[in-house]
Chain A
């Protein structure tokens, strides 16, 4: 049982936290800008590499480099919006979806050009886990990732429910026409959507690098489970996306838990879990757990 918590549940929560932070942006962009943002994974990659540069140049730990990663990634996202998405805003959203694919390829190629294709780590070597109450063995970075995600979730909740901008965002997500008639500045809402989405993506990217390594396909590889998380939580429901991310992360890890000596399912099918959850959600509950918008 203790093995279950140490080696399945906690890594699952870590993975889920990363999915969750990425999925918030996807869900909000889907809710407010009405398109599936395929470049979101690559925004994570950009964030991870921005932090890597800060680690190299300034010699600071990866966690301290997060603010730099956030600023850089937000600038990249706002620029992509200005250059590629804004001109397409009035066309059917499929144009923007395809444009986001192009942006994804461009971002990845730029990262490969500037940083190379080798995988890198923030820190060489390995850390022994923290032992709590003699039985829990948790890697320090997993504690950091899970706690940080919990705090970010709280902050996000307060932002969406208490601030003027947060309320405007929810209004635009619920009914853009009505929000516009009511006099809300849509462009400003969109700008903040990018800032929050890209900022959280940058944090998620750094977390991936912290947990494993930094490589140019880092975000792209996570795109599918993050979309599944956004769908599971309900499109346009940022807190739903967080729940969705955690559920999918945990499900992926615990599905290999051995019961009576045999894994529940073979570890080589782990990847399929996100697919299966996504398909089931689309069939049986397309609005997601938190009653999101239908596509």
Chain B
């Protein structure tokens, strides 16, 4: 039996994926959780990455007219599969840099096991865990969403502003859940709120009623759910409502998924609200980007992390162009130069202009649809947090915090 399990595990690792590539293609890996708890977020996110890929190629290609190719790998938004997928990208596909992963756990696992040891630049469009700030990455790992240190603090303010002084917290036991839950707790208590119960849970179970019964008995006004909707979040909300444990919920970006409304119904969520990293007020270039997105893919430009994913892909492309080659060390070193001020500002859809500026030897500063992306010494950015409420079968932003 032991031998069988071992061999079975080997078989599972061999889940192969098609290999593509031309001699002159400039390849960048896209580490995505196509299956797993983030699957529902993926279609628009993947489209955003593809739109950036298309923009580069339509704008004259990369490194003197070569084809810019994204190689997508499925990390299942979980640690081990992400390491396998990242390893495939870095060692087999020989990509110049990696865009992704999406969840914090996947990003950190892939970074520690693959990209940092192999000295490959990794830019995550969505990983928000504070743990990513302190990772020993020798300047290889970046993200373009603000850390949850920031989201936790903003969320604490939003919750108190709603008049909720006593809340219970249910958070998922991974880098994302633990990170944001702890920063929220610290900020909330510092501002005078009371956390009546604070419980972590495992993803992907069928029943959370036991945990919820304990949380409900603590006498809280609302339940703060820090989990992915498709992993455990939607079940927690649904089972709370069914059993009358809670009727008001506060969620973070992981819960703000259309699947939640689909499973629970919009009426039951009328008093609930959500925080999520968001984009700054629209300018001409980001508006044009969103219009182009909807024209190309039908819909979805307003979905979570679309702007961020476009920007992450574009920043990597710019870094490669700036580096003048696919040499991994050069690409890594070029990222800050194209992302941070000073420099001539370029935005989404201005690939040809950026290439021209780089060719002229000018410094550029990419200002994306999701923010200015000025990386600090940890590879973090400041950002924007939005407050969202349910509107029909999706969400609408009602406030923005900088």
Contact = CB atoms under 8 A, between A and B. Distances in A.
Nearest to B232: A212
A98 B6 CA distance: 10
Given A128-B242, A212-B235, A213-B234, A15 B207 contact: yes
B201 interface: yes
A59 interface: no
Contacts of A221: 204
Interface string B146-188: 0000000000000000000000000001000000000000000
B210 A256 contact: yes
B242 A127 contact: yes
Contact of A256 (B3, B211, B244, B268): B211
Interface stretch (B33-41, B276-284, B294-302, B355-363): B33-41
B365 to A, nearest CB: 37
A253 B4 CA distance: 30
Interface stretch (A158-166, A182-190, A264-272): A264-272
B50 interface: no
Contacts of B205: 270-271
A263 B214 CA distance: 8
| Of listed A121, A212, A258, A270, residue having the most chain B CB within 10 A | A212
A194 interface: no
Chain A to chain B: the 10 pairs with minimum beta-carbon distance, closest first: A117-B39, A11-B207, A7-B213, A125-B265, A101-B11, A256-B210, A7-B209, A268-B173, A267-B211, A119-B230
A127 B241 CA distance: 8
A263 B173 CA distance: 16
Contact of A117 (B15, B42, B199, B265): B42
Contact of A267 (B15, B39, B202): B202
Interface string B188-215: 0000000000011110111111111110
A217 interface: yes
B12 A101 contact: yes
A6 B243 CA distance: 9
Given A36-B1, A124-B265, A213-B259, 5 more contacts: A118-B230, A124-B262, A212-B235, A267-B200, A268-B173
A253 B210 contact: yes
B238 interface: yes
B8 A38 contact: yes
B287 interface: no
The bracket for how many chain A residues form the interface is 35 or more
A257 B214 CA distance: 8
Contacts of B173: 268
Nearest to A10: B209
B54 interface: no
B263 interface: yes
A7 B243 contact: yes
Contact of B206 (A3, A212, A266): A212
B1 A105 contact: no
B35 A137 contact: no
B329 interface: no
Nearest to B393: A124
Interface in B35-57: 35-36, 39-40, 42
B288 interface: no
A18 B207 CA distance: 12
Contacts of A94: 3-4, 7
B47 to A, nearest CB: 15
A121 B263 contact: yes
A208 B206 contact: yes
Contact of A137 (B230, B235, B243): B243
A267 B208 CA distance: 9
A268 B202 contact: yes
Contacts of A217: 35-36, 204
B243 A118 contact: no
A119 B234 CA distance: 11
A97 interface: yes
B7 A97 contact: yes
Interface in A108-143: 112, 117-119, 121, 124-129, 137, 139
Interface string B243-272: 110000000000000010011110010000
Interface string A1-15: 001001110011011
